[in-house]
Amino acid sequence: MGLRRFRVAFTGAFLVAACRPAVDPSVAGLRGGDFTLTSHEGKRVRLSDSRGYVRILFFGFASCPDVCPTTLTRLVRVRELLGADAGRMRVLFVSVDPDRDTPEALRSYLAYFKLDVMGLTGTRAEIDRVVEAYGASYEIEPSGSAAGPNVGHTTELLVIGPDDRLVTSLSQGENAEEVAAAVRRAL
Amino acid sequence: MRIACASLLALATTLPPIAVQVRDPWVAEPVAGRRATAAYFVLENRGSDEVRLTRCETAAAEVTEIHRVTERGGMMSMGRVDQVAVPARGRVSFEPGGYHVMLIDLRKPLAAGDRVALRLAFSDGRELVVDAPVRRREAR
């Protein structure tokens, strides 16, 4: 009897722990944290300027013809799914291709999507610090393609809570419903 | 002349039926101001031999290239490939996040509702022309 009670108590404790982990395993070991970059409007902005909102941060580049438009289109759908909560989310698109991605290039690219999204660029060193802090990576290699150099990048969506803390990381495989649910949990 | 005609007839009758079919072709509406976009379709091979897609051309772009998005260690990378094999009685989907045909340096802006003719060339010597509508991307 005593043993059974212990089992129930133990299972209960486990469930609570599973529902509210202290650190999401997907972001364990990542520093995250504040940073300063240049927005698509040419202004210097900090992550903490948008404190109070859930931020979805991801890395990409404006000449990206396949993966980045697919991700941005999914986020437009996430915004629709969030309904009244959509105004509590901000999307941050950090370029890993600052040689081509001037603020103006980011502005014209992102204006296509019906989304409250801020394009961010900067010096290579500034971008590399953000890439490292958020556990991302990228590579730029010369290619024989007329499309320019091959730019490879990680595609996780990093969810940052209203208190600027990194909450979780979502893979490219998560659909719009799953991303919207993660945003709601972070609100 | 008679021999030439007979040879041609022999050639025509010995060519196998078209093995590959192109289904659901579409071109993603380019992001505003961008001069590159991607074309997608499904290749179905009903034949008993592998057939390779060797080229896909269009008058809508100066350059076309077959590309593939690959994932390595969580990093998505896009690279050019020379050809794509469609296995016997198999299919290969060209879709966002996978294979696609890059249309580079568009000759004129494309918008949803436009149509683009794509000419696909295969390793068995066949060529197919398909009419692909331009559509906005859809969320997944």
Distances, alpha carbon A173 to alpha carbons A80, A125, A135, B40, in Å: 19, 30, 18, 19
Is this complex scored with an ipTM above 0.90?
no
**Could you tell me the pTM of the whole model?**
0.82
* Contact with chain B for residue A172, Cβ under 8 A: yes
* Residue in A147, A152, A155 nearest the CB of B36: A147
Tens digit of each residue's pLDDT, chain B (140 residues): 555 555 555 555 556 677 899 999 999 999 987 889 999 999 999 999 999 999 999 999 999 999 999 888 778 888 889 999 999 999 999 999 899 999 999 999 999 999 999 999 999 999 999 999 999 998 87
Q: Residue B93: which residues within 8 A CB-CB, separation 6 or more?
A: B40, B42, B43, B99
Cα–Cα distance for residue pair B51/B17, rounded to 1 Å: 13
* Residue in A109, A150, A152 nearest the CB of B34: A109
Tell me the DSSP string of B27-81.
Answer: EEPPPTT-SEEEEEEEEEE-SSS-EEEEEEE-TTEEEEEEEEEEEETTEEEEEE-
pLDDT of residue B8: 53
